[in-house]
Amino acid sequence: MDFSIFGYQFMQNAILSGVLGGIACATIGVFVVLMHMPFIGVCMSHAAFAGALLGLWLGFNPLIGAFGVSLAAAAVIGPLADRGELNPETSVGVIFSLMLGLAFLFMGLMPGTKSGALELLWGSILTNTRSDIMLLGITAVVVVGIVIIFYKEIQATIFHRDMALSVGIPATLFLYGILFLTGSTITVTLRSIGGLLIFSLILNPAAAAYQLTYNMSRMFLLAAVFGVLSSLTGLLFSYLFNVPSGATIVVTSSVIFMLAAIFSPKRKIKGWHQKPVEEQIS
Amino acid sequence: MNTPVIQIDNAVVSYREDVALRGVSLEVQAGEFIGIIGPNGAGKTTILTIVNGLGKLIHGTVRVLGHSLTPGNGHSLRKRVGYVAQVQNIDPRMPMNVREVVMIGRYGILGLFRRPGKHDWRVVDEMLELVGMTRLALRPIGHLSGGEQQRVAIARCLAQEPDIFLLDEPTASLDWRAKTDILDLVKLIHDTRHLTTMFVTHDLSALPVSCDRVVLMKDGLIWSSGLPQKQLTDDNLSHLYDIPIGAVRKRRTEEILTLH
């Protein structure tokens, strides 16, 4: 097998993008999984997609469009998730379908070839440039940095927002921060993985990690490892079988999730045994 | 016992169309144990939320620990007010153990950018010991029973080292044994730590016997308050819950018969 391809700049760029995007997306995924808001994440990724298409149609930077529309979606969804008074799933469903509708509307309105739009839909990690990588790198550092710096506040907000509020943590601020981070990460990784596929790279690695551990920091770590593993293995398969890389990344992350679900110790909750406390507290 | 720790003056709170509190005034002295009882929807929980600054007043004033509650100082004041809610639905696979959840109580007072140190973990372990949960300290939080979860919630609240202890239906949905255990624990905590305590319940049998004062609430108003023996009469309960006095007597006798 010829692996000289990995010597090429475009492949190295793709690998770096996969690593950085995998880390950023999987970290965001931990919030999405533990705060039970997968649908909100799907909605935001479609909002980013619609925004990017709006940019392509009207001729401004798709990244700005994606950022703007996903933040606007977060601004609508945030209060719904925050108050929890009406069933948020219904309203998120309405916004989700609106975003998908808008995306296809902008695509239809776009003159000329639609290759740019299709690239956003499927992703094109192989055409990533150094500046894309810079942006992915900044995102990954910011996301991981925020998790490390505000770990205890984030942990409390994820565990129970009202409780976090009642001990004096500005949990509402953190909720909005988390939504904002989700929107930004999706925006930045959109072009590499694609609007339709990005969400699996967010959800699957974190969902797999969720199956395997009762420790939150370990879950963040495992999710990042699975995210990177999905990206790299996906890229490899994409090269070997000459198929779109976004799709292979998603399939790999789903396989990792399935394996984690099958071997999950949490499936046997009754069989959970613990050592005496003295042996465990160090 | 002469400094009011909580002063609520003519508080009005409304959620959308419903008025939850219609002008409530209440003073609570340092170390006092107040039981608040009344039917569902009487505004009992709301009175606790205005004490910890999570409820929004549309009229009136609330002073807690000498500070007027404003939207700006809610977070700092809440660090000194412990709050235990009803049994929560916790994801059985939540990746946190009991000890970590109790530590959340200290996060507020620790403040941003500071990690829990040895002292904080020592406080957490002491509180777990106090509520009798040391042996389950490393159990995933979602694996506990309702009663155990409430003990953890109380430990978390105490780990906060609060000046005020608020309990909102802490025994709702617990079985009889767990309920009496939690009530004993609350009494023990009040007796040993002299925390100013407000205990809300809709269930007469969950009203701690050690209350210094009972407040009866109905339709967003304080309907009556005073010594437990004087307040919890058949007559008052009949008015409070809108059931004929005969039925109140019958129910109370049945309760006593089943308990003894």
pLDDT in tens, A217-242: 999 999 999 999 999 999 999 989 99
The answer to whether A163 contacts chain B (CB < 8 Å) is yes
Residue ranges covered by each domain of chain A: 4-262
The answer to whether A150 contacts chain B (CB < 8 Å) is yes
Name residues 22-41 of chain A within 8 A of B (Cβ).
Answer: 34, 36
Residue A282: its pLDDT value, please? 43
Residues of A in Cβ contact (< 8 Å) with B96: 155, 159, 214-216
Q: What is the mean pLDDT of residues A204-226?
A: 96
| A149, containing H or E segment | helix A130-149
CB atoms within 10 A of CB B227: 11
Residue A268: its pLDDT value, please? 64
Record: contact B52-A36, CB cut-off 8 A: no
Residues of B in Cβ contact (< 8 Å) with A166: 52, 54, 78, 81, 83, 85
- Closest residue by Cα to residue B38 from B235, B243, B223: B223
The answer to whether B119 contacts chain A (CB < 8 Å) is no
Is the full-model pTM beyond 0.95? Answer: no
Record: contact B95-A159, CB cut-off 8 A: no
Q: Where on the phi/psi map is residue B191: left (φ > 0), alpha (ψ -120 to 50), or beta?
A: alpha
- B210 and B196 Cβ atoms separated by less than 8 Å: no
Please state which of the four CATH numbers 1.10.3470.10, 1.20.140.10, 3.40.640.10, 3.30.365.10 is assigned to the domain occupying A4-262.
1.10.3470.10
Residue A204: its pLDDT value, please? 95
- B82 and B166 Cβ atoms separated by less than 8 Å: yes
The answer to whether A218 contacts chain B (CB < 8 Å) is yes
Record: contact B92-A149, CB cut-off 8 A: no
Q: What is the per-residue pLDDT across A112-141, written as a single tens digit (0 to 9) for each?
A: 777 888 888 778 888 888 988 999 999 999
**Residue B234, min C-alpha distance to chain A (Å):** 36
Record: contact A277-B112, CB cut-off 8 A: no
Query: Of A104-108, A207-211, B220-224, where does the model show the most confidence?
Result: A207-211
Residue A140 tokens read as 């990954």
Name residues 143-182 of chain B within 8 A of A (Cβ).
Answer: 143, 156, 160
d(CA B200, CA B84): 10
The answer to whether B95 contacts chain A (CB < 8 Å) is yes
Q: Residue A276 above 70 pLDDT?
A: no
Indicate the angle between helix axes A198-212 and A38-58, nearest 10 degrees. Answer: 160
Interacting residues of B157 by C-beta distance below 8 A, sequence separation 6+: B82, B83, B84, B105, B165
Pairing of strands B213-218, B67-68: unpaired
Residue A279 tokens read as 């042996």
Record: contact B94-A36, CB cut-off 8 A: no
Interacting residues of A185 by C-beta distance below 8 A, sequence separation 6+: A24, A25, A28, A139, A143, A202
Per-residue pLDDT band at A87 (split at 50, 70, 90): low
Interacting residues of A194 by C-beta distance below 8 A, sequence separation 6+: A119, A120, A121, A122, A123, A124, A246
- B166 and B190 Cβ atoms separated by less than 8 Å: no
Q: What's the angle, vertex CA A169, arms to CA A164 and CA A170, rounded to 5?
A: 110
Read off the DSSP letter of residue A86: S
The answer to whether A282 contacts chain B (CB < 8 Å) is no
Residues of A in Cβ contact (< 8 Å) with B124: none
ipTM for the predicted complex: 0.89
Residue B259: its pLDDT value, please? 54
Identity of the residue in B95, B101, B141 whose CB atom sits nearest the CB atom of A219: B95
Q: Which residues pair with B217 in a beta bridge?
A: B222
How many CB pairs lie under 8 A apart between chains A and B?
97
Residue A274: its pLDDT value, please? 52
Per-residue pLDDT band at A271 (split at 50, 70, 90): very low
Percent of chain A with pLDDT over 70: 91
In chain B, the residue whose alpha carbon lies closest to the alpha carbon of A165 is B75
The answer to whether B78 contacts chain A (CB < 8 Å) is yes
Record: contact A152-B94, CB cut-off 8 A: no
In DSSP notation, chain B reads: --SEEEEEEEEEEEETTEEEEEEEEEEEETT-EEEEE-STTSSHHHHHHHHTT-SPEEEEEEEETTEE--TTTHHHHHTTEEEE-SPP---TT-S-BHHHHHHHHHHHHH-TT----HHHHHHHHHHHHHTT-GGGTTSBGGGS-HHHHHHHHHHHHHHT--SEEEEESTTTT--HHHHHHHHHHHHHHHHHH--EEEEEES-GGGS-TT-SEEEEEETTEEEEEE-HHHHS-HHHHHHHHT--HHHHHHHHHHHHHHH-
Q: How far is CA A148 from CA A34, A144, A155, B157, in A?
A: 17, 6, 11, 25
Residues of B in Cβ contact (< 8 Å) with A274: 138-139
Mean pLDDT taken over chain B: 89
Residues of A in Cβ contact (< 8 Å) with B79: 167-168
Query: Of A3-7, A21-25, B201-205, where does the model show the most confidence?
Result: A21-25
**Residue A169, min C-alpha distance to chain B (Å):** 5
pLDDT, one tens digit for every residue, chain B (260 residues)? 467 899 999 999 987 777 889 999 999 999 999 999 998 888 999 999 999 888 888 899 999 998 887 767 778 888 899 999 988 888 889 999 999 999 999 999 998 889 999 999 999 999 999 999 999 999 999 999 999 999 999 999 999 999 999 999 999 888 888 898 999 999 999 989 989 999 999 888 888 777 899 999 999 999 999 998 888 888 888 888 888 888 888 887 777 666 54
The answer to whether A221 contacts chain B (CB < 8 Å) is no
| A10, containing H or E segment | helix A9-34
**Residue B106, min C-alpha distance to chain A (Å):** 8
Read off the DSSP letter of residue A125: G
The three-state DSSP-derived secondary structure of B58-97 is: EEEEEEECCEECCCCCHHHHHCCEEEECCCCCCCCCCCCE
Task: Tell which of B83, B98, B100 to mutate to test the A interface (max A CBs under 10 Å).
Answer: B100
Which is more confident, A281 or A96?
A96
d(CA A177, CA B178): 39
Residues of A in Cβ contact (< 8 Å) with B100: 155, 216
